[in-house]
Every structure is written in C-alpha cells, then in structure tokens.
Amino acid sequence: MNFLKRFPQSVYNFKAYNKLRKTSMISTIMYLLILALLLSGFIAVRPINAAYRYQNMINNVLDDNINELNIKDSKLIVNNGEEFSKIETDGKVFFGIDTGENVTADNYVGQMGLILSKEGIVGRVDSPATKLNEPFSVNYDSLDITKNISDNTLLKGLNSIAAAIRVNFLILSPIVIFIEYLVLSLIFALIAAIICNGKQIKLNFGERYRVAVYASTVIFALRAIFSLIGITIPFLILVIIQVVYMNLAIKAIKIEEDIVPMS
C-alpha cells in the first residue's frame, strides 16, 4: 500500500489498520518522514511569506544610498558617520535605521519590528506572557559581539534574513518534526498497550508503534490545515485526538481478528 493509499485510509478507514499494523517498519518510518516533510511545508508558508515581505522592507531601507553599515565602539556607523533616518512600515511590522535618534518604538504601537539606532536596537514585540504589544531596547555595548562589526557584516546579515528563515523552515523544521514524532510514537505505543489490554487484544510493540504512526496522520493533517490560517492547536487537544484514533483503530483490529471465516 503506497503513501497515497495509506494517507486517506489512516484518516477514515479504521478497518485498514489491520493491514497497516503489518506493514514493514522501514516503510512506516518513510511514511512518517513524508508526513513531516509535508507538514513542515504547510507550516512554512506563512512565516516564509512574512519573511520575504519583511526582507523587502529591509531592502527598501538599505537601498536608500547605504553603502556602509558597521558598528564601531558600540556605535552604529552609516556611510562613514553620516546621519541617516528611514523607517518602513506596512501597518503591521516595521524596520528602520535611525542614527539621529529621531524615532522611537513608541511611534509604532501595535506593530512588531525593530529600529537600528546609533546606540542600540529598539523595537516592539507581542509578548507571549502578557499578550501585549511591548517595547524593548538593547544597547550595543551590552552585546559583546556587536562592539565592533566591520566589513559590512551587518549589512550582509540584514540582506540574508529571508534566506536564513527559509533554511530553518524547509530544512531544519522537517528534521525536528520527524524526530519529534518518532519519539512521540514510542510514547503512544505504550499508551496503545493500555488500550489493547482493555480490549483484550494482543499486539506486539512493533504493531502498536505502527498504529501510533498511522493514527498521527490526522494530527499532521489538522496541523497543516490550521497552520495556513495561523492557528496553533493546543498539544493536549492533539494528544486526545491521537488517543481516540488509536482506540478506534485497535477496536477495528479487534473486530477484524474476531471474525471467524464461515465454512
């Protein structure tokens, strides 16, 4: 049974789990890897799109006759010391460079972003703790790595933000998701043992692991769909859905195993 058949069968056909539990472990792991790649692709859509928009905003600021952008003695130097001020915003995020200290983050309440000032970095961010849009500021002299940055390293870094985010979501994210579900499936296989005991059916660890992997298909599908609209499903809800699916799958396996062929 190939991926295109396993995917829908795992979601709505619980009788199919009697066959899915017997698939090879290698094909099951490959199935999980494909799910991780697909999910990371969906999750990446919004942040990568946002990153490109922000990169364009940064480029609009940097393209305004900035040939040199360095930090010397914990001070931001633009074009060998000339005063420079330009802020870009789309109403939701902002970015700017202001060596004249003419603009503060208070000018952009309700937005997220940062401004490179002469003395440090100021900006605003939505705080996960307070759920409020809060200002922040960091002086360059408090960051040892920024006391002296030359050779336009800062300029090059700002020009590659979108590329760095793309690498994170398209390369690192699939690996993290894959490993995450490899481990979670081990835990769910133990939970499946409790379900099997309650339904008086014996499945070995490998079979329970496969059931856990295929039952996670609906979790991957839900996370992918909701990620497109910017909603994160609480982990507890995902766990409950996973356990319900394993319960229904094991129940279906039990029914299939209890059927006695008529002579």
Whole-angstrom distance, CA of residue 106 vs CA of residue 3: 52
Please give the C-alpha separations between residue 171 and each of 105, 138, 163, 175, 202, in angstroms, as whole numbers: 34, 31, 12, 7, 39
Choice between 147 and 81, residue whose per-residue pLDDT is larger: 81
Mean pLDDT of 226-237: 88
Residue 127 lies in a domain: yes
Residue 49: phi and psi, rounded to 5, are -60, -45
171 and 248, same structural domain?
yes
Q: What is the pLDDT of residue 124?
A: 84
Residue 143 has pLDDT above 70, yes or no: no
Residue 176 gets which letter from DSSP? H
Q: List own/partner pairs for 73-76 with CB under 8 A and 24 or more apart.
A: 73/147, 73/148, 74/119, 74/139, 74/140, 74/141, 74/146, 74/147, 75/118, 75/119, 75/140, 76/116, 76/117, 76/118, 76/119, 76/140
Residue 70 has pLDDT above 70, yes or no: yes
Tens-digit pLDDT profile for residues 5-56: 889 999 999 999 999 999 999 999 999 999 998 888 888 887 777 778 888 8
238 and 170, same structural domain?
yes
Q: Exposed, middle or buried, 22 (CB in 10 Å: 0-12/13-18/19+)?
A: exposed
Residue 166 has pLDDT above 60, yes or no: yes
199 and 132, same structural domain?
no
Residue 263 lies in a domain: no
Whole-angstrom distance, CA of residue 225 vs CA of residue 63: 37
Residue 239 lies in a domain: yes
Mean pLDDT of 105-133: 78
Whole-angstrom distance, CA of residue 66 vs CA of residue 47: 27
Choice between 84 and 27, residue whose per-residue pLDDT is larger: 27
Q: What is the pLDDT of residue 131?
A: 64
Residue 128 has pLDDT above 70, yes or no: no
Residue 157 lies in a domain: no
81 and 35, same structural domain?
no
Closest CA to 215 of 178, 256, 244: 244
Residue 60 has pLDDT above 60, yes or no: yes
Mean pLDDT of 53-79: 79
Q: What is the pLDDT of residue 217?
A: 94
Tens-digit pLDDT profile for residues 149-158: 555 566 666 6
**Cβ atoms < 10 Å from Cβ of 226:** 14
170 and 144, same structural domain?
no
Whole-angstrom distance, CA of residue 88 vs CA of residue 96: 6
Q: What is the pLDDT of residue 152?
A: 58
Element (H or E) spanning 108, and its range? none
Q: Could you say which of 115, 150, 185 is where a domain stops? A: 150
Number of domain units in the chain = 2
Choice between 189 and 157, residue whose per-residue pLDDT is larger: 189
pLDDT classification of 144: cutoffs 50, 70, 90: low
Range of the domain at 232: 3-45+166-258
pTM: 0.69
